[in-house]
Structure 1
Amino acid sequence: MSHDDFSDGWLISRYVAPDGHLFMTVLFLLAFLGGRAVYGQFRRRVRKLDVVVIGAGPVGLTATFIAMRSPRVGQITVYEESPREYVINSPYQITFDSTSFSFLETIGVDFNNMEGCHDLGLFYTKVGVYLQYILDQIQCTGHRCKVLFGAKFDKELRKNLERGNGRTLVIVCDGKKGQSASLLGLDEFTDQVSCHTFGAMAGIERPHLREVPTQEIRAHNLNFDLSAYGPYSQDQNGTSGFSLKIFGNSKYRYMCLAIRRCDSPTLKALRTILDRSMMRNIFLKCFNTYKLKTEPCLSESFVLNHMKYSPRLFEVRYTQRCETVAYFDDCDMFVVVEGEAALSCNFHTGMDINQGIRGLHSLDQFITRVTWAESEKSISSALAYKMQHSTKLFTSLSRDGMQEFMFS
């Protein structure tokens, strides 16, 4: 080989080699990025989220049931301050509307295997019956879920969560008097709106009767003659009257009266005059007039000794906690507030469970977003998603809730 040939070959290899290195570099970079993407997807698929639920009421155990069905969730722990017997033996009746009924059926609740009754698209059952059903389902699935009764969530448990490894979602469902959300660092401030409605409530207990689920009774455009209590004449015909609802099981019966804000003389009198006998007699006559045919009438002596009631009308309001979802970066923990701990009404209609169940409609999607969120943007997006749903629910209920639960 001549010197010229050698020189030409060296020159050729010298100029070709950089292209070869560039090609190998690009190939290696693509392989690295591709492997990283595959690893990221694999990590997202296998990543598990630990869930802690505070409160084993209807909303808390329903949230547990939803989390249990999610493939993104690993260990679930439920803390309930009250003993199991107290929770399961709750005498109160709950009413699921058609929206809640359909949603619960979608997530696997079988109402055909639950004691209760259907009427006009509503399902009535005892709180304890529903809770026992959910607890049985949790036990049957074999999921890693612990329900701890008689265990109050306190500062020590909060510290244990903060020291834990991995991401945690805490779902607070301890009711409007619960302190867990504040203990976890969420603001206590609330927003309150008027429903432009006034109402009063009453309740009686008949110890000699069994707790049989009973459909509700509604009556509308009722007017009352208050002339016997002073110079209060009966409202003229055509004036918007009161709506009455009788609900609860056969042993524990409840009544509520509500009326839209108006210039009714009766409304003004019942708002301003504190005469306990006047409101007591209104509830007595309403119950005896509209009760079920199979129910015995209430006597004046029974009502005098056994009825608890609002002595006059009060303004009906919805209240929402301003901060219902948060993320704490130092311990990688999400907190979301559900049920009456997040949104409550100062007026009992027998259908209060539905506003809590509607808050859970977004929980499954929120769990997925929380599990996969890695960047600051994706975490903020998950928080915004849940907050928007909570705000929308509050706006809808404050605008239409009384119409749907009481006036329709």
Structure 2
Amino acid sequence: MVYTANSSAVVCEDMQSEFPSVNQINHSVLLTGLLVALFCVVRFLYRKTRRNWTSVNIFIIGGGPIGLVAALLAVKSKRLRKLTVIESESRRDLVKREYQVCFDIENIAFLQTVGVEFDSIEGCRDKHGFYTRVGIFLDYCLTILENSEKKIRLLFETKFDKEIRKSLEKESCRTLVIVCDGKKGQSARFLGLDEFTEEVSCQTFGAMAGVERPHLREVPTQEIRAHNLNFDLSAYGPYSQDQNGTTGFSLKIFGNSKCRYMCLAIRKCDSPTLKALRTILDRSMMRNIFLKCFNTYKLKSEPGLSESFVLNHMKYSPRLFEVRYTQKCETVAYFDDCDMFVVVEGEAALSCNFHTGMDINQGIRGLHSLDQFITRVTWAESEQSISSALAYKMQHSTKLFSSLSRDGIQEFLFS
């Protein structure tokens, strides 16, 4: 019995030596927790420090309104390392551009956040927005950029080509290229983006007219809108005036006092006038419609148009055409071999075959997501974060295109 008792004691002592005590377990758990917490803190501080110091080179192709607004956004970004703007025209030619632009209320508020003070820009304002000559706006943006403390290069009279593309590939850090060279530009193709486009009908038909009066000054002028207009075409054949209740045309007169433009549009319907103006190619009919519309709805302070002046100086659509929006299907990409992001903005990405005088706003709306995109581009490390940045910008572009094709003409013309 003694042996048995002694044996049990030995067994108990051996079991105690094989298993750690409660204090040892608590000590191990505490040590592991401290190590995990320390690792998390170090990783957090590393990521925060890296994000605070990580920057990106931004290269903008195109010195038009969209390109320079993109430059203003880049300058405001804390992620900017170096900014380069390349423009094929000279600075003098840029600021001499004459056509008038209108910024709507939404984009006025947006541009004010990047330092644009509309009270300092020559122009006029009404309920639809702010009107100014595009050259005046470009000169204002260039002055802000030239006085910036950031590292900025403005390269005028320089065309983007394959040689410049090669120099971008040799940049020492991550590069973001923003293409803003208009719908006729070829920069996106040089950079390797797909040229495929998608076209959507706005279920609207319209015609355009323009006239230049050289003897007048380029004074910013408010736009004029008139709705539910019907025309009597009986003088041009068996086409009677539309009966009351039939959908009428909307007219818009815009542009500065020297260069005046008109757009005439109507939603898709069964109107006899719509059918006639779409199928009949009679220049005198469309010319007289624009002449009478202008003289009826023009500003009281401006002179009317005579038939002889219109005959020699008016350019116009000979008949109605279908209004369509076109979007470049691939507007954002990443090239890992040279660590370069490319995004296409403005008319280079999305355009309309119908001018409303407020077309600049659709390009600026595309830039609303640019600041966040610059941040995502700068911070992206893994394949997942890079894909997430690309998806973010693409989703915004797709949403903008859908919105404009559905409501753009309604907002810019019919409302």
Both proteins in one fold, TM over 0.5: yes
1:5-24 equivalences in 2 (<5 Å): none
In the other structure, the counterpart of 2:233 is 226
State which of 54, 60, 65 in structure 2 corresponds to 1:58.
65
1:50 CA drift (Å): 0.4
1:126-205 equivalences in 2 (<5 Å): 126-205=133-212
SS of equivalent residue, structure 1 residue 107: coil
In the other structure, the counterpart of 2:9 is none
Q: Does 1:217 align with 2:224?
A: yes
1:43 CA drift (Å): 1.3
Contiguous gaps of at least 5 residues in structure 2? 1-16
TM-aligned CA distance change 1:23 to 1:291, over 3 Å: closer
- The 2-side partners of 1:195 and 1:22 are apart by 66
State which of 344, 353, 356 in structure 1 corresponds to 2:363.
356
Q: Does 1:388 align with 2:395?
A: yes
- The 2-side partners of 1:294 and 1:26 are apart by 80
In the other structure, the counterpart of 2:7 is none
1:63-102 equivalences in 2 (<5 Å): 63-102=70-109
In the other structure, the counterpart of 2:46 is 39
- The 2-side partners of 1:121 and 1:214 are apart by 12
SS of equivalent residue, structure 2 residue 261: strand
- The 2-side partners of 1:285 and 1:164 are apart by 58
- The 1-side partners of 2:408 and 2:30 are apart by 66
Normalising by structure 1, we get a TM-score of: 0.93
In the other structure, the counterpart of 2:3 is none
- The 2-side partners of 1:88 and 1:194 are apart by 34
- The 2-side partners of 1:263 and 1:202 are apart by 24
In the other structure, the counterpart of 2:319 is 312
1:106 CA drift (Å): 2.0
In the other structure, the counterpart of 1:3 is none
SS of equivalent residue, structure 1 residue 141: coil
Q: Does 1:286 align with 2:307?
A: no
- The 1-side partners of 2:197 and 2:102 are apart by 27
In the other structure, the counterpart of 1:254 is 261
For 2:349, give the aligned amino acid. Answer: A
- The 2-side partners of 1:238 and 1:68 are apart by 53
Normalising by structure 2, we get a TM-score of: 0.91
In the other structure, the counterpart of 1:123 is 130
Cα RMSD of the aligned pairs, angstroms, is 2.0
1:385 CA drift (Å): 0.7
Which of 1 and 2 has greater Rg? Answer: 2
Contiguous gaps of at least 5 residues in structure 1? 1-11
- The 1-side partners of 2:38 and 2:305 are apart by 81
For 2:224, give the aligned amino acid. Answer: I
- The 1-side partners of 2:70 and 2:310 are apart by 39
In the other structure, the counterpart of 1:276 is 283
For 1:386, give the aligned amino acid. Answer: K
1:37 CA drift (Å): 3.8
For 1:43, give the aligned amino acid. Answer: R
State which of 327, 330, 343 in structure 2 corresponds to 1:323.
330
- The 2-side partners of 1:311 and 1:73 are apart by 49
State which of 272, 293, 301 in structure 2 corresponds to 1:265.
272
TM-aligned CA distance change 1:304 to 1:29, over 3 Å: same
Residues 32-85 of structure 1, C-alpha deviations (whole Å, 9 max, x = no match)? 664344223211110111000000000000000000010111100001011211
1:164 CA drift (Å): 1.3
1:139 CA drift (Å): 1.7
- The 2-side partners of 1:23 and 1:351 are apart by 65
SS of equivalent residue, structure 2 residue 63: coil
Count of aligned residue pairs for this structure pair: 396
For 2:210, give the aligned amino acid. Answer: G
Q: Does 1:297 align with 2:304?
A: yes
